């Protein structure tokens, strides 16, 4: 989402880098690594990494520093859980930075806006449905996968717009005209892609979904 840092204050870039870096270190120290080394899990992680790398390079540049692209973070979060999903976002954005697709100075901010925020939205939505709604398969699919994808796009785009509107010389009307007004074109694809992927996994490979439980969503109804 955020691709240009030339106009962003250095203090903001440093602050975001410190926060995301510190958060990554703390998360890695507390991560349940046994889940990652479960048979077949590492291969699935690599496959997801390659898939995200591909879709994140397919982007539409709208204005200098701002671009729209599919994220897929909702599906990744439901497959791996929030910790591995954030780690995956760090790795994908880091590789894009190394290969010059993104400026290295924008890597922390991109991780925050297009990685951590969508993961947080999806995970919060999952926990909300688990505590407030009946344990039904369609609530998981439509209330988390499809809706989570849509909300992730909204949060990522509006978060990026807020950063550029507040901290750069771009006027708010320019941010809206050249970036935010294209949000509806991203919401539906993001929702559908994440929803279809998760639905296919529920039907064909439910064991790949760390957040899915047959006991809860099928037998517990």
Task: Write down the residue that tokens 């590789």 correspond to.
Answer: 95
Q: Above 80 in pLDDT, residue 113? A: yes
pLDDT at 52: 96
Distance (Å) of CA 85 to CA 42, 90, 218: 13, 9, 25
pLDDT at 15: 94
| Gap between the Cα atoms of 16 and 11, Å rounded | 9
- 116-148 residue pLDDT tens: 999 999 999 999 999 999 988 999 999 999 999
- 60 or 73, greater pLDDT: 73
pLDDT at 4: 55
Structure-token pair, residue 16: 């975001």
pLDDT at 153: 96
Q: Go through the chain and tell me how many residues it has.
A: 221
Q: Above 90 in pLDDT, residue 216? A: no
| Gap between the Cα atoms of 103 and 116, Å rounded | 19
Confidence (pTM): 0.92
Percentage of the chain beyond pLDDT 90 is: 68
pLDDT at 3: 58
In contact, 71 and 153? CB cutoff 8 Å: yes
In contact, 23 and 29? CB cutoff 8 Å: no
pLDDT at 215: 86
| Gap between the Cα atoms of 117 and 131, Å rounded | 21
pLDDT at 61: 78
- 11-65 residue pLDDT tens: 999 999 999 999 999 999 888 887 777 778 889 999 999 999 999 998 887 776 6
């Amino acid at each position: 989402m955020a691709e240009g840092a030339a106009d962003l204050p250095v203090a903001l870039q440093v602050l975001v880098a410190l926060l995301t870096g510190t958060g990554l270190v703390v998360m890695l120290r507390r991560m349940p690594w046994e889940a990652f080394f479960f048979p077949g899990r590492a291969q699935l992680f690599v496959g997801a990494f390659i898939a995200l790398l591909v879709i994140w390079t397919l982007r539409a540049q709208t204005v200098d520093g701002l671009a729209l692209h599919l994220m897929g973070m909702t599906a990744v979060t439901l497959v791996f859980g929030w910790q591995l999903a954030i780690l995956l976002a760090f790795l994908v954005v880091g590789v894009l930075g190394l290969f010059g697709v993104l400026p290295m100075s924008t890597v922390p901010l991109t991780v925050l806006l297009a990685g951590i925020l969508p993961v947080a939205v999806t995970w919060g939505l999952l926990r909300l449905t688990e505590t407030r709604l009946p344990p039904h398969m369609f609530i998981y699919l439509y209330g988390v996968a499809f809706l989570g994808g849509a909300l992730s796009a909204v949060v990522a785009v509006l978060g990026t717009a807020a950063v550029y509107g507040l901290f750069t010389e771009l006027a708010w009307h320019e941010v809206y005209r050249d970036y935010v007004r294209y949000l509806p074109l991203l919401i539906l694809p993001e929702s559908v892609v994440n929803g279809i992927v998760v639905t296919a996994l529920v039907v064909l490979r439910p064991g790949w979904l760390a957040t899915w439980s047959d006991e809860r969503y099928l037998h517990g109804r």
